[in-house]
Chain A
Amino acid sequence: MKRFADAMLPAVVLVGLLVAWEVLVRVAEIPHYTLPAPSLVLQTLWANAASLAGSWWFTLKITFGALALAVAGGVLVASVFALSRPLERAFLPVAVMLQVTPVVAVAPLILIYVESTTAALLLCTWITAFFPILSNTVLGLRAAEPGHRDLFRLYRATPWQRLRLLLVPTALPYFAAGLKISGGLSLIGAVTAEMVAGAAGRETGLASRILEASFRTETPKMFAALVLLVLTGVAIFWLFDRLSRALLGRWHPTGSPN
């Protein structure tokens, strides 16, 4: 019963907020171009389902494409860093510079240098998603306990055995935590980058729908696109939360390192 109540509480709050919003808009007779009621947002979402779905799909492709590249790049660079302290010292500042540069600031430059808008968007999104994977994986690959290292030395483990049976399992919770962060950041990166790039390509994402609607003061449509983004963000968070639980199985109940 308690668990049910715990699960219901956030839902009740959410529904309550939506109802309050709906009532406020109706009672105060707020015009829809200032603040549309939730019911109108829903209607708009339904009416524009086809065009919004296409944009949603494009944003999703950028998000997951960049995330996949961030995972590949992050794990690769992390392995190199973990193998060699000098290389880490040499290249970590570059990685930090990538991390601290706001995508909004660097996107216009990237758009100049990179011909294809899709590629530019991927690159911008990759920049935001790359660092958490890199830094967490480096941390994880170094996290093996001295006792475990001694054990593997005692039994003369080969470097490959050490990597496969000790370093990778040790790093897994750290990697999963990085993946959870980067999953959320990818979506933010994809939208932010498209906001700056504008609707240049043939295919466009949800950011372009929002900008477009903004130019035409179609506030309900802006909200509809926003709703899709929020739902997608929540879904991505949920997905990676489940994924990290599955990856870590029974041995790490929290699903992330302390």
Chain B
Amino acid sequence: MPDALISLSSVDKRFASGTVALQSASLEVRAGEFVSLLGPSGCGKSTVLRLVAGLDQPTAGRVDAPAWRDPAQARTGFVFQDATLLPWADVFDNVWLPLRLAGVSRAEAAPRIGALLASMGLADFVHAMPSELSGGMRMRVAIARARVTRPEALLMDEPFAALDEITRQRLNAELLDAWQAEPMAVMFVTHSVVEAVFLSQRVLVMGARPGRIVDVVEIDEPHPRPPGFRTSPRFAELCRRLSASLEAAMAGAA
């Protein structure tokens, strides 16, 4: 894949404690592609994202990603497991932060932030404080913050794990809308088979101890996905296929 936006080549990651988080992991993500990383806890899914974001250094191997190429980085967005909003700043200021750190003034940033918040149903919450928002709303703000720089790569680390099922489904649908409105590569870490199938074009299945990529499953249903996709036999078949792969990965680890 010569046109890969993100690539890991035989990457090892060993922590100071001696834990091997990743062993000879290789993967590639094309520009604009939606890829999920699926695996049991402790398989190094989050580590892959942190490496891609430049938040961690590989012990061995090579990482190539926008955050590593562009020194004045604004091309990578990261959505953490918690919304990690600044509690003393309102919604506008939280979303402004990435641009502010890049030297964009409030006035310059306002049109982009206004449009983004409106498109995500947050128009009425521009001046709300994070403590006044529900968990789902907080996560929407976190996604808006990650999107505000129009990133080439959006990295999401189990962003909806703490939300209830209904909110999670709605945010899944909104995420796909956002991805189709503004082309960007998405790397989405999850431990939900259903979520991985619903969202992605490709799912990388990971095994634990040591963390490695054990399988790649193409979800060859074109986007936008039809309304009945979630309940279709095709969906169930893909989930079965992915579950089997995940079980094999976990059996291999045990």
Contact = CB atoms under 8 A, between A and B. Distances in A.
A10 interface: no
B105 to A, nearest CB: 14
A24 to B, nearest CB: 50
Contact of B101 (A152, A172, A248): A152
Contacts of A154: 53-55, 67, 73, 76, 78
A147 B97 CA distance: 14
Given A154-B55, A156-B72, A165-B97, A249 B88 contact: yes
Given A147-B80, A150-B55, A250-B129, A155 B98 contact: yes
A95 to B, nearest CB: 28
Given A150-B78, A156-B72, A156-B73, A251 B101 contact: no
A26 interface: no
Contacts, number: 57
A151 interface: yes
B67 A169 contact: no
Given A151-B97, A154-B78, A145 B129 contact: no
Interface in A73-132: none
B214 to A, nearest CB: 28
* Chain B interface SS verdict (over half): loop
A146 to B, nearest CB: 9
Nearest to A169: B88
A145 B84 CA distance: 8
A115 B99 CA distance: 56
19 contacts: A147-B80, A148-B86, A150-B55, A151-B84, A151-B97, A153-B55, A154-B54, A154-B55, A154-B67, A155-B102, A156-B73, A161-B101, A165-B100, A169-B86, A169-B88, A250-B129, A250-B131, A251-B131, A253-B131
A166 B94 CA distance: 12
Interface of A: 145, 147-148, 150-157, 161, 165-166, 169, 172, 248-253
Nearest to A156: B73
Contacts of B55: 150, 153-154
A166 B80 CA distance: 17
A139 B129 CA distance: 24
A155 B131 contact: no
B82 interface: yes
Interface string B78-93: 1010101011110000
Most buried by B among A154, A248, A252: A154
Interface of B: 53-55, 67, 71-74, 76, 78, 80, 82, 84, 86-89, 97-98, 100-102, 129-131
A114 to B, nearest CB: 41
Contacts of B131: 250-251, 253
A236 to B, nearest CB: 26
B88 A155 contact: no
Given A150-B55, A154-B53, A165-B97, A251 B87 contact: yes
Contacts of A150: 55, 78, 80, 84
Contacts of B54: 154
The 6 A-B pairs of least Cβ separation, nearest first, read: A147-B84, A251-B88, A155-B101, A169-B88, A251-B87, A157-B101
Given A148-B84, A150-B80, 4 more contacts: A154-B54, A154-B78, A248-B88, A251-B89
Nearest to B128: A250
Contacts of B89: 169, 251
A155 B82 contact: no
Nearest to B99: A155
Nearest to B80: A147
